[in-house]
Structure 1
Amino acid sequence: MTRALAALLLVLALALPGLAQEAAAPDPGPGETALADEWAALNARAVEVLEAARASPEALESLRAELVRARARFAEAQQVNSARIETLRGQLASLGEPPPEGETEAPELAAQREDLTAQLDELLIPVREAQANFTAADGLIAETDALISEARTEDLLRQDAPPINPVLWPPALRRGGEVLTDLGTDLAEPFATPTERAAWMGRGVQLGILVFAAVLLLWRSRVWLGHLRDRVARHEQESPPARLGLLAISLARAILPVVGLGVVAQILRLLGTGGLWLETAEWLLPAAGLLIFGAHWLSLQAFPERDASVTLLPIPARRRREGRVHAVTLGIVLALSLAVYASDLLADVAGVLQFALMVAAGLTLLRLGQLILAESRQLAAGPEDDSFWLGPLQLLARLMLLVGLVAPVATGLGFVNLGTVLMWSTLLTLALLALIGTLQTAIFDAWAVLTRRREAATDALAPTLVGFALAVAAVPVLALIWGVRPSTLGEWWETFLRGFRLGETQISPGSFLTFIIVFVIGYLITRMVKGVLRRSVLPKTRLDTGGTNAILSGTGYLGITLAALLAITTAGINLGGLAIVAGALSVGVGFGLQTVVQNFVSGIILLIERPIKLGDWINVNGMNGFVRQISVRSTRIETFDRQDVIIPNADLISGVVTNYTLGNSSGRLIIPVGVAYGTDTRRVEAVLREIAEAHPMVVLNPPPVISFEGFGADSLDFQMRVVLRDILFIVATRTELNHAIAERFREEGIEIPFAQRDVWLRNPETLRPAPEA
């Protein structure tokens, strides 16, 4: 039974590859045919619309969305049978290059090559078709984007009737009065007749709950949170927890009224208020409230009320109230401008109303820019100016002054869209910058609370990186503020995800992230293996320090190399495409980096041959020290003065190096001794031998050697030659032996002479005093 089952499995294993090859390229089904027909129709329609160039931006956006969906399908279709295609290419590569023209190869190889090539061509047909369709869709999307951008530019630069003309003002005022009258009529409509009153009174419970919630959110919430803020502020000592608490309270005071305005919009809907205003009230009231209360919240962060609070702008406490007033005014004007654009009833007089609002916003922005510029100049002129942000802040203030002048003038001359976009984009940019600064300050305070290191929180790396990431994440928002379409941002993101092509390799963020993850995992595994070898394996062997260090260093270099190769392979980076670049760089390596390569090769030799190991006492170029680290480029030695000296490995290989502890730690010590003339030399020799043999650091095999060197100018010269067990104790041993020699010579009465000189005067009579006259 077992043999029969094994035979059946073997038959299936041999049959499955053939079945897979036959089923690898199935005939297109009805679904694929329908997709092809759909793309043909979409392609024809897109070409017709783009050639006519008469479609509205909204219609072009809809067409673009369809093209994007089609392009995504084609991008997915390019990966069909990718695994099988790679397998066939690998099989063809294993057969080698085809024979040159005029030569033949074995019939079996030729048949196999022809079969594999036919299968590969058949599988590549839908892939190449998808690539062609992808390129066509991408080109149509680019043409659509160009038309949309052209239409938006024309609309932005369109010149209407100049609102600065006083003739247009009375009709605008009358129209505004009519709209306000109609709005009052619409609000009073639910209370006009008993029938209408009965209609909303039937929903009295719901209305009562909503009115109660609106009162709490719009009024009482700010009062209660204001009391809580004052209580926290009284105990604040400029600590990060207190600042975070005040920030949360102020944010709640800004958000809850916005929610309350949304409740008010629901109340108007339940009352049955009619008119065109009700259609936009559900989103206009919360949006306008968000602009006004958001401007007030940001003004409190940029110009705080308390003198000791941390401020985003270098404005003194006496001028902060003025800054808050200007910021809130800009928020109110921006909300009114949104209301003018939202109402179709004001479309015919929107230019005049926007001009009035633009003048108010321009004057406010001018005053705010002057305030920031004057205070930043005053700080920059001070003796203690060390802030990097004063320069960019002054530039920002000058841009505010420029926009405050240009936007109202452009609007007054009839370029209403240009003026409003310039003004409102500038205001929203200022709000975004203030929001980023507030969030970054909150990140540093949160880090200080988590780590309980208040003083060093601003110097920490982690919150700095988070703040930088926050600034980078705000770049798409800034692009949207200045008119970049969301579809354009999506296109940029898709291009970024697709990456770029380097040779035959597609480099994308996904492949780069894969490379980083695999390499980090390989590096961690290498560190773990080195730790196991250092703590558990190598201590149980008989290797010395040099061998242990060589094994650990080799393991580290091998592990990092394998991790890099595995990461490159996993990320799909084809190193063959970099062969030309590597060949060009080899010239620079050979000439410009020859010293680095020489030191690298010397480091490998040091690790393998081990003429020098960690802890050795060496002398190189007249410098003595202990070897503390051996790397592939240089070796670090520590001198007896506790100084680290970095020596290139090439000097250790090509130069003369004295290693006092290469084979063992023993070494010879020579001490010169001089005695006075007339001393018994045999006795001196015996005393010196006794002193040497008595010292515990002196080995007796080979025995100490006492040599009578000769007759010096002032003494009889002897030398004590001894071998020490550990040469590292040579200084201490020399000192102890010298002490012992002095003590024994004093006991034995042996004199150690000092240098004596006879002075002869050639004319001593000149030293006699002259006789008196």
Structure 2
Amino acid sequence: MSLLLRWLALVLVLLAGPLAAQEMVAQPGAEAAAQLDYEDWRRMASRAEAEIAERRTSSDRLEEIRTQLAQWRTALLTAQNANSARIATVREQIAALGPAPAEGETEADEISRRRQELAQQLVKLQAPGIAAEEGYRRADGLIREIDRTLRERQADELLQLWPSPLNPGNWPEAAVGFSDTVLRLWDEAAMVWTDRKARAELFDSLPLILALLGVALALVVYVRRWVERFTERLQQGASVRGRKVWSLLASLGEVILPTLGMVALAAALIAAGMTGEIGAQVVRALPLMGFVIFAAAWLGARAFPRVQHEGAVLPLPPERRAEGRFLAVLMGLVVAVERLRSAAMDAQAYSDATTAVMSFPILLTGGLILMRTGRLLHQARDAEDKSYVLRLLLVLARGLTVVGVAGPVLAGLGYVQAATALIYPAILTLGLVTLLFILQRLIGDVWALIVKADEQAADTLVPVLAGFTMTLAALPVFALIWGARLSDLTELWTRFTEGFQMGETRISPTDFMIFAGVFVIGYMLTRLFQGALRTTILPKTRMEQGGQTALVSGIGYVGIFLAALVAINAAGIDLSGLAIVAGALSVGIGFGLQQIVSNFISGIILLVERPVSEGDWIEVGGVQGRVRAISVRSTRIETFDRNDVIVPNADLITGRVTNWTRFNLSGRLIVPVSVAMGSDTRQVARILQEIAEAQPLAILKPPPMVVLMGYTTNQLNFEIRVILRDVNFSISVRSDMNHRILERFKAEGIHIVPPPAPPAEPDPVKTAQTVLALADLVQEERAPLAKRAGRKGQAGNDKGEER
């Protein structure tokens, strides 16, 4: 119950924090600073410093002081912007007067007097902001000191050593405490029963009490079967896509209705009036205990269903799933029993030994259940398809096993509070993780129902992003479960909303939202203007298609740049402090990004000069194809084989580029033909001329040309030279003309000379033998020459000696 209340308090604080600040600061600017009572703030801060320095101050009192300081800090932060608009105006006025005269120089008296007046006015305007900033620093420092103190106390409590519950010497004292609690409950009921007035009220309320008990019995005992029948009826009337959604929503009755039954039971006991102080605390704990048990049973039924569908996260056999449902109920019972023990015994301030002995059986049971649950989850490791979720669950299974062992061991050694901080948060974490999985599946099923798609739509982008966002939103709940204080989370939220300092400008999340909103608006306006140009304005001009595309692309880049500048200005972000970063970035561009910059500049040149346009058939670097898209970094070319080739723009500017269709689509096609020697050359030329002129894509002015290029001892070489209307069809035209040439030559009895066979690949063995033979031959030739050279050298030496 405390965890739920803390979570609700967190939401209320996050929503009401700005309102609390507005109560202290009703209006912005100078009025806000004037409304702050700085004397009241100083007195409050002095009292806070005194109580913080006193070590006997309770944690609850420190939390109360911290709340007051947080409200003052918010108000002081808002007051720091007092007179900001007027201060900016005065500074501009001072700047308009020009720089102050240097030492030894003078300026006009009128300007000097005006400068002094503006300087005094600036000092007065800055005074409220300076005072607010000083107060803000003081409040922030006190809050940090309180947080540090509370964290130290929390750590000390976790490490506190109690009497060991395994020591038999502590058992009698615990037995006395337990019997004393039972006797107090009995005495409270007996004391009320002896009161005639109380008995009369009981008899008067008996019909209401019996009705509430009947409702409680019906809702707690018989509701499950009724909900199951109701769920079956919904499934029969729902569509295939909606069955999972309606089944899950209807199954929530298994939690809500029995919990209402526990509420009715508590109301019946309260109406009976037979409870005292301790009994009232136990009765008030009944609804939460029931909710925990029923919620645990519901989560177990969803995580370990009786009928397992395909694609289940935990592929387990039926007996293991039944065990999982049983363990889930036991976890709920463990948490409920601990809540009952706390409600009945904590208020009576029993000794640490009594609390340790009474808590140990519950902690031991919880640890054993966690160990068994970890082993059960670990049995899914043999699944063939180990998804990311299943791997996370296996990691969670190992963690549960470790906690299940460490918790009871710590409790047995006397560290009961440390064991409590492990066992129960682990159980709640497991329940929350299961709930997140269930909600994520529900979001996917709802999305599939909305888009009217199959079950695969549950794994699309929108449900995945929604589940990720939901997981991030659950992080504060995990933090609260594992002992984080509510003030810690509100402090993180405060730091986030305050933003960070960059230069002389404080950037907050609101600035980012303004930046994003203005930029999106500018981006949308740019795209709308581009669409109007592309579809309405430019088609009515004489500009060619490539120029239109270049103009639209250039306007898009300029529009995005201007949208970014306007968004930065609207958000009030000062980029002057990024000058050093920009200088370092320029050096990096000069050394490491020069190729990217070269491609970027080349892309701009292509868009401006337009030597190549979209739709042109070009050849660059041995690649032929049609230009599909030109960006600022690269150009995409689609080859004849329908392959996309990305060419850097620098290659199109610095390399050799052949544009076959720059100004028109016509181009020349050359088809070589070789016939046997002795064929009638005039007949061959006439046939080839007829075939060329019969081609539908051939241009007749100038007409196709058939040329006898030369001859050899066994063949005559001809060429058909024809200009096509569209050179993009050159491959198909070449193939068609070759077919017709073969058909006509076969009918006229003209023999075509096949192309020469490619040269045979050299035999490596023969090549090696030839190389060795040549080496031996060279060696044999070098031997006589060496001998002759030696003789000449000897003769020269002899002559030298004679001389």
Question: CA–CA distance in 2 between the matches of 1:612 and 1:441?
Answer: 52
Q: Secondary structure of 1:626's partner?
A: strand
Q: 1:729-752: CA deviations, max 9, x gaps?
A: 4345555666777888999x8967
Structure-1 residue corresponding to 2:153: 151
Match of 2:172 among 153, 156, 170: 170
Structure-2 residue corresponding to 1:249: 250
Structure-2 residue corresponding to 1:340: 341
Q: Secondary structure of 1:249's partner?
A: helix
Structure 1, 709-718 or 343-352: larger mean CA deviation: 709-718
Structure-1 residue corresponding to 2:125: 123
Question: CA–CA distance in 1 between the matches of 2:154 and 2:425?
Answer: 16
Structure-2 residue corresponding to 1:198: 200
Q: 1:668-700: CA deviations, max 9, x gaps?
A: 344556788899988988887777667664445
Whether 1:296 and 2:274 are equivalent positions in the alignment is no
How far is 1:488 from its partner? 1.1
The one-letter code sitting in structure 2 at the alignment partner of 1:65 is: T
Question: CA–CA distance in 1 between the matches of 2:535 and 2:237?
Answer: 52
How far is 1:71 from its partner? 0.6
Q: Per the alignment, do residues 364 and 240 of structure 1 end up closer, same or farther by CA in structure 2, a change over 3 Å counting?
A: farther
Question: CA–CA distance in 2 between the matches of 1:144 and 1:254?
Answer: 40
Whether 1:369 and 2:380 are equivalent positions in the alignment is no
Q: Per the alignment, do residues 88 and 424 of structure 1 end up closer, same or farther by CA in structure 2, a change over 3 Å counting?
A: same
Equivalent runs, 1:56-205 vs 2, <5 Å: 56-92=58-94, 98=100, 101=103, 113-187=115-189, 192=194, 194-203=196-205
Q: 1:174-203: CA deviations, max 9, x gaps?
A: 432343233244446665565333324445
Task: Give the conservation status (yes or no) of the 8 Å contact 2:314–2:380.
Answer: no
How far is 1:136 from its partner? 0.7
Structure-2 residue corresponding to 1:18: none
Task: Give the conservation status (yes or no) of the 8 Å contact 1:186–1:274.
Answer: yes
Question: Across the two proteins, how many residue pairs are aligned to each other?
Answer: 728
Question: CA–CA distance in 1 between the matches of 2:754 and 2:244?
Answer: 82
Structure-2 residue corresponding to 1:617: 617
Task: Give the conservation status (yes or no) of the 8 Å contact 2:381–2:394.
Answer: no
How far is 1:506 from its partner? 2.9
Q: Secondary structure of 1:53's partner?
A: coil
Task: Give the conservation status (yes or no) of the 8 Å contact 1:704–1:723.
Answer: yes
How far is 1:444 from its partner? 2.4
Question: CA–CA distance in 2 between the matches of 1:244 and 1:122?
Answer: 65
Question: CA–CA distance in 2 between the matches of 1:219 and 1:546?
Answer: 78
Whether 1:284 and 2:285 are equivalent positions in the alignment is yes
Equivalent runs, 1:419-568 vs 2, <5 Å: 419-568=419-568
Q: 1:15-64: CA deviations, max 9, x gaps?
A: xxxxxxxx9968986x54xx111011012112222233321111111111
The one-letter code sitting in structure 2 at the alignment partner of 1:587 is: V
Q: 1:197-229: CA deviations, max 9, x gaps?
A: 332444566546544543443334334224435
How far is 1:516 from its partner? 2.6
Q: 1:633-654: CA deviations, max 9, x gaps?
A: 1111111121111111101100
Q: Secondary structure of 2:242's partner?
A: helix
Question: CA–CA distance in 2 between the matches of 1:479 and 1:664?
Answer: 70
Structure 1, 153-162 or 679-688: larger mean CA deviation: 679-688
Structure-2 residue corresponding to 1:645: 645
Equivalent runs, 1:303-342 vs 2, <5 Å: 303-306=304-307, 308=309, 313-342=314-343
Q: 1:417-469: CA deviations, max 9, x gaps?
A: 22222222222222222222222222223233333333413531111111111
Question: CA–CA distance in 1 between the matches of 2:32 and 2:284?
Answer: 53
How far is 1:281 from its partner? 4.4
Structure 1, 205-214 or 268-277: larger mean CA deviation: 205-214
Task: Give the conservation status (yes or no) of the 8 Å contact 2:445–2:455.
Answer: no
How far is 1:618 from its partner? 0.8
Task: Give the conservation status (yes or no) of the 8 Å contact 1:355–1:412.
Answer: no
How far is 1:236 from its partner? 12
Structure-2 residue corresponding to 1:268: 269
Q: Secondary structure of 1:386's partner?
A: coil
Q: Per the alignment, do residues 94 and 195 of structure 1 end up closer, same or farther by CA in structure 2, a change over 3 Å counting?
A: same
Question: CA–CA distance in 1 between the matches of 2:282 and 2:48?
Answer: 38
How far is 1:335 from its partner? 1.8
Structure 1, 674-683 or 111-120: larger mean CA deviation: 674-683
Structure 1, 319-328 or 131-140: larger mean CA deviation: 319-328
Q: Secondary structure of 1:618's partner?
A: strand
Whether 1:359 and 2:392 are equivalent positions in the alignment is no
The one-letter code sitting in structure 2 at the alignment partner of 1:613 is: S
Question: CA–CA distance in 1 between the matches of 2:754 and 2:259?
Answer: 103
Q: Per the alignment, do residues 457 and 194 of structure 1 end up closer, same or farther by CA in structure 2, a change over 3 Å counting?
A: same
Question: CA–CA distance in 2 between the matches of 1:545 and 1:595?
Answer: 29
Task: Give the conservation status (yes or no) of the 8 Å contact 1:240–1:454.
Answer: yes
Task: Give the conservation status (yes or no) of the 8 Å contact 1:600–1:633.
Answer: yes
Q: 1:252-297: CA deviations, max 9, x gaps?
A: 1122222222233233333333411354246311122122222222
Q: Per the alignment, do residues 63 and 702 of structure 1 end up closer, same or farther by CA in structure 2, a change over 3 Å counting?
A: same
Question: CA–CA distance in 2 between the matches of 1:454 and 1:445?
Answer: 9
Question: CA–CA distance in 2 between the matches of 1:222 and 1:753?
Answer: 92
Q: 1:470-497: CA deviations, max 9, x gaps?
A: 2211111111111111011100111122
The one-letter code sitting in structure 1 at the alignment partner of 2:452 is: R
Identity of aligned residues (%): 43
Question: CA–CA distance in 2 between the matches of 1:704 and 1:365?
Answer: 94
Greater length-normalized contact order (CA 8 Å, ≥ 6 residues apart): 2
Task: Give the conservation status (yes or no) of the 8 Å contact 1:176–1:346.
Answer: no
Structure 1, 141-150 or 257-266: larger mean CA deviation: 257-266
Q: Per the alignment, do residues 754 and 214 of structure 1 end up closer, same or farther by CA in structure 2, a change over 3 Å counting?
A: closer
Task: Give the conservation status (yes or no) of the 8 Å contact 2:625–2:640.
Answer: yes
Q: Per the alignment, do residues 146 and 422 of structure 1 end up closer, same or farther by CA in structure 2, a change over 3 Å counting?
A: same
Q: Secondary structure of 2:663's partner?
A: coil
The one-letter code sitting in structure 1 at the alignment partner of 2:248 is: L
Q: Which segments of 5 or more consecutive residues in structure 1 lack a partner in the other structure?
A: 1-22, 758-773
Q: 1:519-559: CA deviations, max 9, x gaps?
A: 22322222222222222222222222211110121122112
Structure 1, 91-100 or 42-51: larger mean CA deviation: 91-100
Q: Per the alignment, do residues 409 and 359 of structure 1 end up closer, same or farther by CA in structure 2, a change over 3 Å counting?
A: farther
Q: Secondary structure of 1:348's partner?
A: coil
The one-letter code sitting in structure 1 at the alignment partner of 2:184 is: D
Q: Per the alignment, do residues 351 and 405 of structure 1 end up closer, same or farther by CA in structure 2, a change over 3 Å counting?
A: farther
Structure-2 residue corresponding to 1:7: none
Q: Per the alignment, do residues 704 and 333 of structure 1 end up closer, same or farther by CA in structure 2, a change over 3 Å counting?
A: closer
Q: TM-score, normalised by structure 2?
A: 0.81
Structure 1, 593-602 or 342-351: larger mean CA deviation: 342-351
Q: Per the alignment, do residues 744 and 331 of structure 1 end up closer, same or farther by CA in structure 2, a change over 3 Å counting?
A: closer
How far is 1:363 from its partner? 3.9
Question: CA–CA distance in 2 between the matches of 1:345 and 1:730?
Answer: 96
Q: Per the alignment, do residues 315 and 190 of structure 1 end up closer, same or farther by CA in structure 2, a change over 3 Å counting?
A: farther
Q: Secondary structure of 2:350's partner?
A: helix
Q: Per the alignment, do residues 492 and 257 of structure 1 end up closer, same or farther by CA in structure 2, a change over 3 Å counting?
A: same
Question: CA–CA distance in 1 between the matches of 2:732 and 2:422?
Answer: 83
Q: Per the alignment, do residues 188 and 293 of structure 1 end up closer, same or farther by CA in structure 2, a change over 3 Å counting?
A: farther
Question: CA–CA distance in 2 between the matches of 1:392 and 1:112?
Answer: 71
Question: CA–CA distance in 2 between the matches of 1:95 and 1:615?
Answer: 60
The one-letter code sitting in structure 2 at the alignment partner of 1:154 is: D
Q: Per the alignment, do residues 654 and 27 of structure 1 end up closer, same or farther by CA in structure 2, a change over 3 Å counting?
A: closer
How far is 1:333 from its partner? 2.6
Question: CA–CA distance in 1 between the matches of 2:425 and 2:363?
Answer: 12
